[in-house]
């Protein structure tokens, strides 16, 4: 399965953003992020995950197998998040936003990141894909499929927070 087939299409997100006013896109409420901040955060997560994996696969001996416990933690984490039983503070690195944000700049960068990720995951060996190529700070090591599910569920979570349709 292609990387892009796992994820909410950017055209769907862009279409919904085109219906929002500049005020809606940039509005923050009680210290919460604006719509553009949520989506910029999701872009930064996708970029960060890709960079992390590229670094980690340079030493294949450091890659570990995925356990059943990891799979259970994954399901539990996203179930609790979905039902509001869990709140997680994002790492500082994915909370840094540019002073000026535009939908156009966001979408151009995001499309480029998706294309780079697509090319990377197409070349990733089956052996590496089965190993723990990404480490989530609460869940643990994730293989390719769990990593892609993480990226999608994370995006869906933020789209819901923005009141956008996944």
> What's the count of helices (H) and strands (E) in the chain, helices before strands?
8, 2
pLDDT, position 4: 77
pLDDT tens digits, one per residue of 118-151: 999 999 999 999 999 999 999 999 999 999 999 9
Domain ranges, ordered by start, for the chain: 3-15+33-161
| Cα 49 to Cα 11, 84, 141, 147, distances in angstroms | 22, 24, 12, 8
Contact 86, 80 (CB under 8 A): yes
Contact 81, 14 (CB under 8 A): no
pLDDT, position 5: 82
Q: How far apart are CA 25 and CA 1, in angstroms?
A: 33
**Mean residue pLDDT across the chain:** 94
| Helix residue ranges per DSSP H, 18-93 | 22-26, 35-56, 68-82
Angle at 8 between CA 76 and CA 109, to 5 degrees: 115
pLDDT, position 58: 95
pLDDT, position 1: 59
pLDDT tens digits, one per residue of 30-68: 889 999 999 999 999 999 999 999 999 999 998 999 999
């Amino acid at each position: 399965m292609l990387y892009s087939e796992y994820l909410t299409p950017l055209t769907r997100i862009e279409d919904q953003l085109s219906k929002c006013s500049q005020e809606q896109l940039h509005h923050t409420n009680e210290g919460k992020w604006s719509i553009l901040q949520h989506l910029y955060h999701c872009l930064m997560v996708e970029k960060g995950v890709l960079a992390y994996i590229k670094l980690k696969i340079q030493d294949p001996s450091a890659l570990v197998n995925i356990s059943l416990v990891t799979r259970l933690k994954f399901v539990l984490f996203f179930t609790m998040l979905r039902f509001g039983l869990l709140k997680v503070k994002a790492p500082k690195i994915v909370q840094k936003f540019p002073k000026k944000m535009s939908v156009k700049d966001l979408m151009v960068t995001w499309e480029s990141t998706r294309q780079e990720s697509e090319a990377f995951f197409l070349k990733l060996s089956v052996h590496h894909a089965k190993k723990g190529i990404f480490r989530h700070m609460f869940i643990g090591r994730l293989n390719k499929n769990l990593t892609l599910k993480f990226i999608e569920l994370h995006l869906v979570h933020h789209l819901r927070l923005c009141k956008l349709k996944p």
